[in-house]
Amino acid sequence: MDQQNLSQKLIDVSFLNNPGIYVIKCKVSDKYYIGETYNLLDRLGRHAVSLTNNTCDCKELQADFNQHGSDSISFGVIEYGSAFIKERKRKNTEERIIKNYRKRFGQDKVYNQTQNKNWVHYRRVV
């Protein structure tokens, strides 16, 4: 690949070094996971690693990843920027967006549940 073609394929992801709200979607099951973080790039990277390592906290998302493969999962940013530096603002916005997704797509199309029955928590050994 020559230098000109390479530069045309580069995408500026510097905005991901911000706090914000993100979505992970399984394109096959058409289900959504909504999350909040202080650093989008770091958090989305950790999600990708945990899915690959079969250690994702959300059992349903992990099952969809295992069944349909990495190409079935997409990551996106819903909102970001300095307005989300405070955790309370991120949590409130995340909660609002989860409610909106449940209304728009249906309760069964959102991985986030009010009861944590779909979650397994792993401890890291240091």
Output the domain CATH number for residue 63. 3.40.1440.10
**Residue 11 covered by a domain:** no
- The string of pLDDT tens digits covering residues 33-77 is 999 999 999 999 999 999 999 999 999 999 999 999 999 999 999
Domain that holds residue 80: 16-113
**Residue 126 covered by a domain:** no
**Residue 123 covered by a domain:** no
**Residue 48 covered by a domain:** yes
pLDDT > 80? residue 122:
no
**Residue 2 covered by a domain:** no
pTM comes to 0.83
User: What's the total number of domains in the chain?
Assistant: 1
**Residue 28 covered by a domain:** yes
Residues in the chain: 126
**Residue 47 covered by a domain:** yes
Inter-CA distances, 84 with 41, 68, 89, 95, 106, Å: 15, 33, 6, 14, 27
